[in-house]
Amino acid sequence: MSDQRLFNVAVVGATGAVGEQILRLLAERDFPLKSLKLLSSARSAGTKIPFKGQELTVEEATPDSFKGVEIALFSAGGDVSRALIPHAVEHGAVCIDNTNAYRMDPETPLVVPEVNIDKISGHKGIIANPNCSTIQMVAALKPLYDRFGISRIIVSTYQAVSGAGAKAIQEMLRQSREVLDGGDPKPDILPVGSLPVKHQIAFNAIPQIDKFQDNGFTLEEMKMIKETKKIMGDDSIEVTATCVRIPVVYGHSESVYVEMKQDFDIGEVKALLADAPGVTLMDDPERQLYPLAAAAAGKNDVFVGRVRRDLSNPRALNLWIVSDNLLKGAAWNAVQIAEYIAIPQA
Ligand code: NAP
Ligand code: 3JN
């Protein structure tokens, strides 16, 4: 008989795009559950969701929802996390938070298991999941950082509309049909639902993800800059980012320029990437083999290709990094952390 301990788990935001993937992963990976509580806003309370042959009923998330809960996975937005996580922690739950609410809190570890799983031992009830664009970049760069050191990163992202939620996916599909039918689509959601100016996403590229900050960078760009330093544990890495929304449904792609602290051999770089946990190297220009968002969709790994020495700086590399933003970028990273908490590692 297995002596695996079982856990009372809650998923906050269970009816959302990220929550749906978390539930699928908990079921597929046979997570050691004693009980599973599905939480949402009052809007979805009462909804039935199938889970491993049972029908679970969604409940409204309130401060009392966390009595007896041991692990709580939050993906219902930063306001919900700020309002409910303190109650969940008070009830003794370890909270894995997919939002920006606690990421830069010095008391809260910001964790990508392939990079800094050692940090979870210092948690005080909250472990933060980084932003999707940051996760895939640091997972790929970690083995290069460890071997050669990294002094500078310049990243441009090509981000899928699913990162902006289900309504943004619908908007992109609707606009695409309207353009193909010869119409003039009205933008409604993107780039930022709460701002007055909207732009067409179909057949377009929008260089704005989230709101502009006083320094001219967007919030998404600042998340990448600050989170990368915190996860790598190295404030000396210079990072700059330009984040762009493109009309792809799932899978964020990134063009990354990385300056190393030491000389490197390109063969060794490829060997390190090929061996890196959670990373798949797809790099064979002769066969036109490189990562594609459409192929990465639905997969847990981070895919890396177009690996080449920079022509303007022999100590720098250029890479193309692709991953499913809802999986490694959110749900899978969170479930991985939950597994590290729940399952004794070999
Ligand atoms: P979504 O599809 O819009 O789902 C939102 C979820 O939050 C739904 O389950 C919704 O429940 C629930 N919710 C909303 N207001 C609530 C409230 N007041 N109390 C309790 N639950 C509430 O959004 P999503 O794409 O899954 O993303 C959800 C959040 O995850 C985002 O806001 C973001 O913070 C985080 N996220 C992080 C990453 C990342 O980069 N790591 C990527 C994507 C998302 P109802 O069905 O009742 O509305
Ligand atoms: O736009 C994207 O592609 C990624 C969006 C992430 C996001 C959207 C709303 C709120 C986040 C995030 O995880 O950084 C948040 C949040 O911080 O809570």
The range of the structural domain enclosing residue 46 comes to 7-130+330-342
Please name the residue whose Cα sits nearest to atom 14 of ligand 2. 131
Q: Cα(343) to centroid of ligand 1, in Å?
A: 27
For ligand 2, mutation pick of 210, 224, 242, 325 (most atoms within 8 Å of CB): 210
**CATH code for position 78:** 3.40.50.720
Name the pLDDT band for 3 (thresholds 50, 70, 90).
confident
Same domain? For 286 and 182 the reply is yes
**Do residues 338 and 73 make contact, with C-beta atoms less than 8 angstroms apart?**
yes
Please name the residue whose Cα sits nearest to atom 17 of ligand 2. 100
Torsion of CA 180, 184, 185, 190, to 10 degrees: 110
**CATH code for position 170:** 3.30.360.10
Residue 242 forms part of a structural domain: yes
Determine the pLDDT at residue 345.
Answer: 80
**Do residues 177 and 288 make contact, with C-beta atoms less than 8 angstroms apart?**
no
Sheet of 316-323, strands arranged across: 238-245, 150-159, 252-260, 316-323, 302-309, 279-281
pLDDT digits (tens, 9 = 90+) for 143-190: 999 999 999 999 999 999 999 998 999 999 999 999 999 999 999 999
Residue 1 forms part of a structural domain: no
CB 189 near ligand 1, within 6 Å: no
Active-site residue (options: 95, 123, 132, 243)? 132
Residue 2 forms part of a structural domain: no
Concatenated DSSP letters for 69-100? Answer: -SEEEE-S-HHHHHHHHHHHHHTTPEEEE-SS
Same domain? For 320 and 335 the reply is no
pLDDT digits (tens, 9 = 90+) for 112-139: 999 999 999 989 999 999 999 999 999 9
Residue 48 forms part of a structural domain: yes
Longest dimension (CA), the chain: 65
Same domain? For 101 and 162 the reply is no
pLDDT digits (tens, 9 = 90+) for 243-289: 999 999 999 999 999 999 999 999 999 999 999 999 999 999 999 99
Same domain? For 193 and 285 the reply is yes
Active-site residue (options: 87, 91, 123, 252)? 252
Return the SS3 of 316: strand
More confident residue, 122 or 23: 23
**Do residues 166 and 174 make contact, with C-beta atoms less than 8 angstroms apart?**
no
pLDDT digits (tens, 9 = 90+) for 31-58: 999 999 999 999 999 999 999 999 999 9
Strands 54-57 and 48-51: antiparallel
Annotation says 95 is catalytic: no
Total domains in the chain come to 2
Same domain? For 138 and 123 the reply is no
Same domain? For 86 and 139 the reply is no
**How many Cβ atoms are within 10 Å of 213's Cβ, its own excluded?**
11
User: Average pLDDT of the chain?
Assistant: 97
Same domain? For 186 and 306 the reply is yes
Mutual orientation of helices 17-28 and 332-342 as an angle, nearest 10°? Answer: 40
Same domain? For 336 and 318 the reply is no
**CA 305, chain centre distance (Å):** 19
**Do residues 257 and 316 make contact, with C-beta atoms less than 8 angstroms apart?**
yes
Same domain? For 138 and 222 the reply is yes
The amino acid occupying position 109 is P
CB 40 near ligand 1, within 6 Å: yes
- How many residues can be counted in the chain? 346
How many Cα atoms occupy the beta-carbon half-sphere of 127 within 13 Å?
A: 26
Name the pLDDT band for 227 (thresholds 50, 70, 90).
very high
CB 41 near ligand 1, within 6 Å: yes
CB 16 near ligand 1, within 6 Å: yes
Determine the pLDDT at residue 344.
Answer: 78
Tokens of 174: 């609707």
Same domain? For 58 and 205 the reply is no
Residue 150 forms part of a structural domain: yes
Residue 276 forms part of a structural domain: yes
Same domain? For 294 and 337 the reply is no
Same domain? For 62 and 147 the reply is no
Determine the pLDDT at residue 346.
Answer: 55
Measured from the alpha carbon of residue 60, the closest ligand is 1
